[in-house]
Structure 1
Amino acid sequence: MTPRLVVAAASSGAGKTTIATGLMAAFSARGLAVSPHKVGPDYIDPGYHALATGRPGRNLDPFLTSEEAVAPLFRHAANGCAAGGCDIAVVEGVMGLFDGQTGGGDFASTAHVARLLGAPVVLVVDCASAGRSIAAAVHGFMTFDSGGHGRVRIGGVILNRVGSDRHEEICRAAMAELGVPVLGVLRRQGDLATPSRHLGLIPVAERRPDALEAVQRLAATVAASCDLDALLALARTAPPLDAPAWDPHAEVVRVSEDSPVVAVAGGSAFTFGYAEQSELLEAAGARVVSFDPLRDEDLPEGARGLVIGGGFPEMYAAELGGNKRLMDTIAAFTGPVYAECAGMLYLARELDGVPMCGVLDATAAMTPRLTLGYRSAVAIRDSVVARVGERVRGHEFHRTAMTPPHGTTPAWQWTTDGPEGFVRDRVIASYLHLHWAGSPRIAERFVAACA
């Protein structure tokens, strides 16, 4: 059995990331092996989770993978985080507790994942502008459950942004009336905030020393403000999970015995990626080697495939454009290339007027409009990862636009919109972010193309 907690809230901005990351770091500081998780399609928060625990942050998303895959993926991470498994798993929720896929009820919500894991929920309550009324809000969350498969179990609350001793007394009394345990109280502290910009928090890779210091402060604050023993006891009330652990070697066929090198872009400009991608590539026979387009002037030696994921190239356009030797190498590269969002921008002729690799006959630019949401797509061209007619589920997350918006041979067709992306020779690039555990044959095909 894996002890586990889900940290949820009424809405975004209530303090979930602060408290979840602080709990991970505080438990780790006690010497516990902590398995960190995040509900939904998020690349940035898991970076802070990894910093807090020393283990890869893992995403749990019923839309991107499947309902059936959530518990196995959870067990894969929790079983592998230490000899004999982890001591506790902390799962940070997304948005409000019941907010999920648009038009899908609470599908893919924090509540949905909590039910799939049989995990008790700790509700973070933002007390900044309320007193006794928080009891009405918590009561509503305890009694409202649209899932229909057993109610979400709220095991207690953590009161956040409490202003004074008197304010704390009022809020604690309200919870006592409701019979809900108060598992922690955090006072208003502006110095705990993590800097943000147009797509959320600034990733760890861009501010590692400061991020490490911030996580250490969170650990100390949460340890002093929360009842860690009570939270651990609550986590231990989670029932056993019957599902087997996910195994990348069972998901794909090893298609190559000569271990072709797949170069995966990283560094500060390309921070978006799911850990399962590399695991699937390696299970299919590849040797995954990372490189940093901001610093490295050449691809890794022997590279036969190239993966460029998401991130923030718009913040580093000048530096990327200044590394002309690497861009020329990528432009001349003849192996298979898979690019998502930021990777597509890097392959364009230019980004915000700065020359890029020029692999795609298109230009990219920042826009004021945020494009965000789940996407269902069907392949409309054969590529190194998909065949015509195959369906995938992913998400979009960007404030940029491509001109033209897609190539003459697009990669995908949105089910709610027009064509998307580019297929050119052995290159596929689009705004679609995929969790490869939801479509493991992508790894198999990509490695086969490299081999």
Structure 2
Amino acid sequence: MVSPTCPAVVIAAPASGSGKTTVATGLMGALRAAGRKVAPFKVGPDYIDPGYHGLAAGLPGRNLDAVMVGADRIGPLFRHGSRGCDIAVVEGVMGLFDGKIDMTGPGEASAEGSTARVAAMLGAPVVLVVDARGHSQSLAAVLHGFSTFDSSVRIGGVILNRVGSTRHEDVLRQACERVGVPVLGALPRMSELVVPSRHLGLITAIEHGGAATDAVEAMSALVSQFVDLEAVSALARSSVTSAQWNPEDEVERSEGAPVVAVAGGPAFTFGYTEHVELLRAAGADVAVFDPLRDGLPTGTAAVVLPGGFPEEHAGALAENRVLLSDIGSAAARGLPVHAECAGLLYLARRLDGHAMAGVIDVDARFGNTLTLGYRDAVALESSTLFDAGTRVTGHEFHRTALVDVREGASAAWGWHTQRPDGRTAVREGFVRGGVHASYLHTHAAGHPHAISRFVCAAVDYARA
């Protein structure tokens, strides 16, 4: 018999920029302060918001990305991340009904991966956060539209954000009452809660340091004061009946315990919690290190270089020449290396003129063009992670580009994308020896076989 699932609320909005992160993070912190054990989640491939969620809830922030891991894993991953918790708070992505855009055709949009789809999968009610600036009686029409657009989604209430005055709040409450949507809170305009941002979104919590903690505490205090926590808790529901995801059931455990060094610290913050859980389940001894100041952990038999913001720390990364040299030498000897986005840049010859590891014979530079979106990719070469022909869905998210490419290694991935001049085949990333380096972010829970394969490669390297 499947145990009852954790009740949940989904924090969504009509559009990006409405204040979802402030409300969701503040709600997590406020509920925690009220004695609730809160499970924090984020819809989609976002790496930054979960860092703030983790500070607020005191538990690892997790992602629910139906595009990356498959719709069938959303329920099990939710149960895994919310086990033992009193309530789950799920922050949505973009607008409530905004989903994946298929870039292999003429940019067709779908609801796949949307907050609405995930809310329906969880059977959880949606709390709509509305930026009240510029709204008056017309808010009733907005709420009516969102409440009736999709019968699989239930709008359980609204939180009014950035309310200008008591009179403004009264008018907005009347509009909500007109369409029968309960008001769960009304937050005044608070400019001091703005968290500093940069080219790919908010500055990560680990980089923001104590200021991030202060911001989370301020969000939590704001929500505690202006949101009805009991009403939100009473609203929470979930109808997930699937079995809990268990990393030990997803991978084959290797013989021995190879040391897998996982880069962390301010420059490498983009990783999924389930990745490390799967590495450990496969038998790895995971050692987290900071490339800004540390050396390779003793006995390292494989390295994971996740995404992050190395372009913000290129000078400091370049100063740690011992680590760069050790990784370069070990990679030449066949060390298994899994590098995604920031990891790819770290393996280049240079990043914005700063010397990097030189494992991949390319330079990288920061630019003004944002590369963003899901990719339906196929592995073009067998590697320490994938067999040739393996299909995955990944996500690109960067403003850097590779220049002066002299690398003769095989491409890691291939996919098609739609451009103004027609459908174009893309070859991306590099496979050389034990190195798999690419801009493409993947989610290990979507292809756990790759983790088993990687840890086995680490065992072989350690023995050799």
TM-score norm. by structure 2 comes to 0.93
Using the TM superposition, give the Cα deviation of residue 181 of structure 1 relative to its aligned residue in structure 2, in angstroms. Answer: 0.3
- Residue 2 of structure 1 aligns to a residue whose secondary structure is coil
Q: Distance in 2 between matches of 1:144 and 1:179?
A: 15
Confirm or deny: 8 A CA contact 1:261 1:304 kept in the other structure: yes
Match of 1:312 among 304, 309, 312: 309
Structure 1 position 44 matched with structure 2 position 48: yes
Counterpart in 1 of 2:421? none
Confirm or deny: 8 A CA contact 2:122 2:239 kept in the other structure: no
Counterpart in 1 of 2:420? none
Counterpart in 1 of 2:209? 208
Structure 1 position 65 matched with structure 2 position 64: no
Q: 1:105–1:299: structure 2 CA closer, same or farther, 3 Å change rule?
A: same
Gaps of 5+ in 2: 102-107, 418-424, 460-464
Structure 1 position 448 matched with structure 2 position 446: no
Over the matched positions of the two proteins, sequence identity in percent amounts to: 56
Match of 1:325 among 300, 319, 322: 322
AA of the residue aligned to 1:185: A
Q: Distance in 2 between matches of 1:377 and 1:243?
A: 28
Q: Distance in 2 between matches of 1:328 and 1:169?
A: 64
Match of 2:127 among 122, 128, 146: 122
CA RMSD of aligned residues (A): 1.0
Greater CA drift, 405-414 or 360-369: 405-414
Confirm or deny: 8 A CA contact 2:351 2:364 kept in the other structure: yes
Q: 1:376–1:404: structure 2 CA closer, same or farther, 3 Å change rule?
A: farther
Confirm or deny: 8 A CA contact 1:21 1:49 kept in the other structure: yes
Q: Distance in 2 between matches of 1:270 and 1:192?
A: 25
Counterpart in 2 of 1:340? 340
Counterpart in 1 of 2:462? none
Dislocated runs of 4+, deviation >3 Å: 404-408
How many residues align structurally?
438
Counterpart in 2 of 1:135? 140
Alignment deviations for residues 98-141 of structure 1 (CA, whole Å, 9 cap, x no partner):
00101352110000000000000000011111111111111111
Q: Distance in 1 between matches of 2:408 and 2:162?
A: 49
Counterpart in 1 of 2:21? 17
AA of the residue aligned to 1:324: R
Confirm or deny: 8 A CA contact 2:12 2:93 kept in the other structure: yes
AA of the residue aligned to 2:434: R
Confirm or deny: 8 A CA contact 2:305 2:340 kept in the other structure: yes
Q: Distance in 1 between matches of 2:6 and 2:309?
A: 35
Counterpart in 2 of 1:94? 93
Q: 1:344–1:275: structure 2 CA closer, same or farther, 3 Å change rule?
A: same
Using the TM superposition, give the Cα deviation of residue 414 of structure 1 relative to its aligned residue in structure 2, in angstroms. Answer: 1.5
Counterpart in 1 of 2:430? 422
Confirm or deny: 8 A CA contact 2:121 2:240 kept in the other structure: no
Confirm or deny: 8 A CA contact 1:407 1:423 kept in the other structure: no
Gaps of 5+ in 1: 80-84
Aligned residue runs from structure 1 range 230-269, under 5 A: 230-235=231-236, 238-256=237-255, 258-269=256-267
Q: Distance in 2 between matches of 1:129 and 1:314?
A: 38
Confirm or deny: 8 A CA contact 2:307 2:342 kept in the other structure: yes
Alignment deviations for residues 151-189 of structure 1 (CA, whole Å, 9 cap, x no partner):
200000000011001100110010011111000000111
Alignment deviations for residues 52-102 of structure 1 (CA, whole Å, 9 cap, x no partner):
0110000001100010000100000111xxxxx101000000000000101
Confirm or deny: 8 A CA contact 1:71 1:241 kept in the other structure: yes
Confirm or deny: 8 A CA contact 1:407 1:421 kept in the other structure: no
Using the TM superposition, give the Cα deviation of residue 407 of structure 1 relative to its aligned residue in structure 2, in angstroms. Answer: 4.9
- Residue 418 of structure 1 aligns to a residue whose secondary structure is strand
Q: Distance in 1 between matches of 2:438 and 2:404?
A: 12
Counterpart in 1 of 2:225? 224
Match of 1:32 among 30, 36, 44: 36
Structure 1 position 300 matched with structure 2 position 297: yes
Counterpart in 2 of 1:82? none
Q: Distance in 2 between matches of 1:151 and 1:71?
A: 16
- Residue 366 of structure 1 aligns to a residue whose secondary structure is strand
Using the TM superposition, give the Cα deviation of residue 313 of structure 1 relative to its aligned residue in structure 2, in angstroms. Answer: 0.4
Using the TM superposition, give the Cα deviation of residue 37 of structure 1 relative to its aligned residue in structure 2, in angstroms. Answer: 0.1
Alignment deviations for residues 370-407 of structure 1 (CA, whole Å, 9 cap, x no partner):
01101110011111000111101110000000125675
Match of 1:435 among 436, 439, 443: 443
Counterpart in 2 of 1:5? 9
